[in-house]
Amino acid sequence: MTEPTPHPRTPPPPGAGARIGAAFAGAGVTGWLHARDIDTDAEVDAGADRPVVTASVHKLCVLVTLHEAAAAGRLDLTEQTEIPAHGRTPGPTGLGAMLDGARLSLRDAAFLMMSVSDNAAADVLLERVGLDAVNATTRRLGMPRTEAVETFGSFLGSLRKDAGPAGPRAFADPRVIAGLRALDPARTNRSTPRDMTALLAAVWRDEAGTPEHCAAMRRILGLQVWPHRLASGFPFDDVQVAGKTGSVPTLRNEVGVVAYPDGGRYAVAVFTRAASPAATLPAADAVIGTAARLAVESLRTPSPPGA
């Protein structure tokens, strides 16, 4: 593997931050964004250094760690693993929602973890590589404010405990929302928008591992099934979007890379928190794509002379 190469930063394009802030406000959310041109490191900063709860976005860190271990010969991605029905981390998708035991290779578990955000698959892989290894990977890649402190099962367990006997219905109560440990970046898995675009850039520049492993990670990120957040801002057949979402009551996140047919490629990390505790807020999902598009369009617009 190669060490990440330092890239000089260029000044942010003028005005982008204000337009992005207005988009967030119009959707009823507070948002934080960082976008970077993967090839020049030109950037748009709209709260890029704000500590944020990663939720399922942290599965990207697990994926990179898994491939790092495979490249070092510590595991084989084709290794078959038994995943019993009982005791695995619950969730609404993938193995987390299935009723019977399963047998999968590690790389197919990684596919489920990233494409449908499967919590059970994520914890199978996290048990294989370990939290310490995940944190060692993000430190190696120059992400000092990114920290994994718990499994996805533990994360969901804190939500259940904090909700109390009312269960998910309690998340309609702003007083319950205010006390959720899962919404406090000091108490759960965390990062910053800038750290996450650094990780994406490392994967797309073949700096997060060998070219073979980085290509495999890019493929998996391109197979995510959700179109309602980052991808909604780029509804064009010739623009490719690869990403990973994260969701907790009131929080909606996505990090990913937008690639244009002219070769332009942009890493974008968007983290939002809605004023409303409603579980269904289409505008809050869509503004992730809107904000990302505003940032990418700004990066693709040449600055006027003297700017």
Say how far apart CA 295 and CA 43 lie, in whole Å. 8
Architecture of domain 16-299: 3-Layer(aba) Sandwich (3.40)
Residue of 232, 224, 234, 230 lying closest to 255 (CA atoms): 230
* pTM, to two decimals: 0.93
Cα–Cα dist 34/300, whole Å:
15
Token pair of 78 as six digits: 């084709």
Alpha carbon 242 to chain centroid distance? 10
Predicted pLDDT of residue 302: 67
DSSP states of the chain: -PPPPP---BPPPTTHHHHHHHHHHHTTEEEEEEEEETTT-BEEEESTT--EE-GGGGHHHHHHHHHHHHHTTS--TT-EEEE-STTSPP-SSHHHH--S-EEEEHHHHHHHHHHS--HHHHHHHHHHH-HHHHHHHHHHTT-TT-B--S-HHHHHHHHHHHHGGGGGGGGGSHHHHHT-GGG-TTTSSEE-HHHHHHHHHHHHTT-SS-HHHHHHHHHHHTT----SSGGGG---TT-EEEEEEEEETTEEEEEEEEE-TTS-EEEEEEEEEESS--S--HHHHHHHHHHHHHHHHHHHSPPPTT-
Q: What are phi and psi of 190, to 5 degrees?
A: -145, 165
Q: How many CA atoms lie within 13 A of 275 on its CB side?
A: 8
Which amino acid, one-letter code, is at 22? A
Which parts of the chain sit beneath pLDDT 70?
Answer: 1-14, 302-307
pLDDT at 15: 80
Instruction: Give the pLDDT confidence of 229-261 residue by residue, as tens digits.
Output: 999 999 999 999 999 999 999 999 999 999 999
Give the pLDDT confidence score for residue 8 in this predicted structure.
44
**Per-residue confidence (pLDDT) for residue 1, from 0 to 100:** 46
pLDDT of residue 252: 98
